[in-house]
Amino acid sequence: MQSTNLEEIKAALWEQASHPCTQVKWGMAQVMAIRRRKGQLLILLRGRERWYPVEAVTIERPRLCPTGACDLEDVNPEEWKKGRKKARG
């Protein structure tokens, strides 16, 4: 899906960092960071050192993760909170 919404792209970048199935791309290149300056979207591409102006980026999310690690919809928030409390001790 193509997106120009800064908050949506930032959320997808977080997912990309923590869940390997989500990908944020511009063309064939992987997007590592995004910002808005003077109303224009600027992206930082993997392996590059400068910011590139873009119209939109592509966010790719699979319907089902092959490993099962990215299926966030199946997690019950109450169970997740209980799991965090147990992990803390």
Tell me the pLDDT band of 82, cut-offs 50, 70 and 90: low
Higher pLDDT, 15 or 50: 50
**Residue 77 corresponds to which tokens in the numbers above?**
């928030």
Of 37, 66, 79, 76, the residue nearest 54 (C-alpha): 37
pLDDT at 83 over 60: no
pLDDT at 72: 55
CB atoms within 10 A of CB 10: 14
**H/E element holding 13?**
helix 6-18
pLDDT at 89: 52
pLDDT at 63: 75
- Number of domains the chain contains: 1
Cα–Cα distances in Å, from 4 out to 36, 45, 69, 76, 81? Answer: 10, 16, 27, 30, 33
pLDDT in tens, 26-73: 999 999 999 999 999 999 999 999 999 999 999 998 777 766 666 555
Q: What domain range is 43 assigned to? A: 2-88
Of 39, 43, 63, 68, the residue nearest 53 (C-alpha): 43
